[in-house]
Amino acid sequence: MSPNPAAISATGFRMRTETRGDATVVHCSGRLTSEHSGALKTHVKGVFPNTKRIVLDLRELNRMDSSGLGAIVGLYVSAKKENCEFLLINYNSAIRDLLGVTNVLSMFEDCARTGMRLP
């Protein structure tokens, strides 16, 4: 499947979705804040019926606030209910610190610790 721009905002958040092997990868860039967390949730929840693994690639995400964190945690819970694996990759140290301070880093550490690679 070719890259698909799912959402573009003039205020700085973008998503691009692609399929790699058995995973659907959502590349996020810019700032995931309260203004954009709903768009991320809506988009990713729409992908659940079509895949068993969703990967959020945060390589180009430079800022995330508590609403963005809430969206990611909510997506993790929703994915579990759908029997879908939900992973975060390539997050920067500021996002890692936010995940750690809020005690949710352990939900996503396995992917980072094993150095998961996509096909």
**Is 68 domain-assigned?**
yes
**Is 111 domain-assigned?**
no
**Is 118 domain-assigned?**
no
Domain count, the chain: 1
Give the helix ranges, DSSP H, for the chain: 34-47, 66-81, 93-101, 105-114
Question: What CATH number is given to the structural domain containing 76?
Answer: 3.30.750.24
49 and 24 in contact (C-beta within 8 Å)? no
**pLDDT the model gives residue 114:** 44
Q: What is the pTM of this model?
A: 0.82
Structural domain boundaries, residue 9 = 4-104
CA-based radius of gyration for the chain: 13
Distance, CA of 77 to CA of 84 (rounded, Å):
10
**Is 30 domain-assigned?**
yes
**Is 117 domain-assigned?**
no
| pLDDT, tens digit, 9 for 90 and up, residues 21-43 | 889 999 999 999 999 999 999 99
**Is 113 domain-assigned?**
no
**Is 114 domain-assigned?**
no
Instruction: Tell which residue, 61, 73, 60, 74, has the closest CA to residue 99.
Output: 73
